[in-house]
Amino acid sequence: MPRSTPGRRPATLASLAAELGVSRTTVSNAYNRPDQLSPELRKRVLDTARVLGYPGPDPVARSLRTRKAGAVGLLLTENLSYAFRDPGAIEFLEGLALACEDAGQGLHLVPASPEREDVASVHRAGVDGFVVYSVPEDDPHLAAVLERPLPTVIADQPRAASVDHVGIDDHAAMQRLARHVIELGHKHVGVLCMRLGRDRNDGFVSLPRQHSARYHVQRARLAGLRDAFEAAGVDWNTVPVVERFDHSLADGARAAGQLLDRDPQVTAILCTSDLLALGALDEAGRRGLRVPQDLTVTGFDGIAEALRTELTTVRQPVLDKGRTAGELLLSTKDPGRPRSVTLDTELITGKTSAGPRGYEEPWFGP
């Protein structure tokens, strides 16, 4: 099979038409609208195409003419490769891929290294629209996306008034989780959270930094905690919050260590993600702290590993989020006011939360 006719320039629709003595339109129709020409001629066109090594209409030229690329762009906050290491991102991708598949659309992952702020990749992407997943408010790639005259859907963060959005009520969900911990009797707690800005700050978080966080999701979750604990009479200023730039088990463990070193008397560690919480569990184990007897640990997200571990956490429908983002994007019919979808969450009380020592419910043993 000739992958390309040697010696000659590659065949085009025009050259094929010339060879056949028909118009370009006819060749085009042979591929795109079989009913517009006689079966015999169509066969002749297709046969000759094979002989000449013409691979069918060029996708890029077609895209230019039809103004359709047949693909959805996806912008992620992190290195592309990182996305494949984060359980949440993977599930989101799965949902989005589902939606794209149903619509026969490709999924174009845009390389957006946070290091070299190379926005060109966004400008160069031949796509019909963008899904933006969880990026900081001041991400230059996001700005580049919004500059392009294409439909866009933002998942999770940031929340922009003029752009379609899908997410959850982070504040309410976290508040509810906090109330659960409060009801168990905890007064002295610590918090582990994900990055609050594009700058690395692996350590304790000041109040101003909490408020000025560039990641609305983290900001809302912290605010949910704050509101719940303040309502319960706990001074939020006294609650230690440890931030981690990278999102991994190991970082969760290290952050928990940092917290426990400085504040050994905390009876509960609330984490803004399951991965951090699972890391905290590891660290607790290393320190001989029993969970939940000695220490309560909670997460957020409801990733598979967390559910298996029976972590107390908030489950959010990440796959649905991805699919909804895709459906929203693909159903965009020109202007219309921006839409916003808020998905439901569910508090999961697992086996990593209990009352602090001295607060157990009475036990009527033998």
Partner DNA sequence: AACGGCTTCTGAACCGTTACGGTCTGCTGC
Partner DNA sequence: GCAGCAGACCGTAACGGTTCAGAAGCCGTT
Element housing 92 (H / E)? helix 87-102
* 198, 207 contact by CB (below 8 A): no
| Residue 124 site contact among DNA, a second copy, none (CB < 5 to 8 Å, cut-off depends on kind) | a second copy
| Residue 36 site contact among a second copy, DNA, none (CB < 5 to 8 Å, cut-off depends on kind) | DNA
| Residue 117 site contact among a second copy, DNA, none (CB < 5 to 8 Å, cut-off depends on kind) | none
Nearest approach, Cβ of residue 160 and a second copy (Å): 11
* 360, 129 contact by CB (below 8 A): no
- CA-nearest of 184, 239, 238, 247 to 217 is 247
| Residue 337 DSSP label | P
Considering the rule CB under 8 A, would residue 7 count as an interface residue with a second copy? no
β-bridge partners, 244: 194
Between 83 and 255, CB nearer to a second copy = 83
Q: For a second copy, which stretch binds (CB under 8 A), given 1-9, 204-212, 231-239, 246-254?
A: 1-9
Q: Classify 12 in phi/psi space as left (phi over 0), alpha (psi -120 to 50) or beta.
A: beta
Considering the rule CB under 8 A, would residue 123 count as an interface residue with a second copy? yes
Is the dihedral angle over the CA atoms 241, 242, 246, 248 positive or is it negative?
A: negative
Q: What share of the chain is helix, strand, coil (3-state, %, to 5)?
A: 45, 15, 40
Considering the rule CB under 8 A, would residue 70 count as an interface residue with a second copy? yes
Residues that bind DNA (CB under 7 A): 10, 12-14, 21-26, 28-29, 31-32, 35-38, 41, 54, 56-58, 61-62, 64-67
Between 13 and 72, CB nearer to DNA = 13
- CA-nearest of 201, 194, 106 to 157 is 194
Using DSSP, state whether 69 is helix, strand or coil: coil
Alpha-carbon distance of 221 to 271, in angstroms, equals 10
Considering the rule CB under 8 A, would residue 173 count as an interface residue with a second copy? no
Nearest approach, Cβ of residue 304 and DNA (Å): 43
Alpha-carbon distance of 267 to 252, in angstroms, equals 17
The tokens describing 354, both together, are 């209990």
Considering the rule CB under 8 A, would residue 38 count as an interface residue with a second copy? no
Nearest approach, Cβ of residue 79 and DNA (Å): 27
Nearest approach, Cβ of residue 62 and a second copy (Å): 7
* 22, 38 contact by CB (below 8 A): no
Residues 6+ apart with CB under 8 A from 31: 56, 57
Between 197 and 338, CB nearer to a second copy = 338
Considering the rule CB under 8 A, would residue 3 count as an interface residue with a second copy? yes
Alpha-carbon distance of 51 to 55, in angstroms, equals 10
Considering the rule CB under 8 A, would residue 79 count as an interface residue with a second copy? yes
Q: Using CB under 8 A, which of 33, 34, 47, 56 touches a second copy?
A: 56
The tokens describing 103, both together, are 């619509």
Nearest approach, Cβ of residue 323 and a second copy (Å): 9
Nearest approach, Cβ of residue 334 and a second copy (Å): 10
Between 56 and 203, CB nearer to DNA = 56
Residues that bind a second copy (CB under 8 A): 1, 3-4, 10, 53, 55-64, 69-71, 79-81, 83-85, 90-91, 93-95, 97-98, 100-101, 104-111, 113, 118, 120-121, 123-126, 146-149, 162
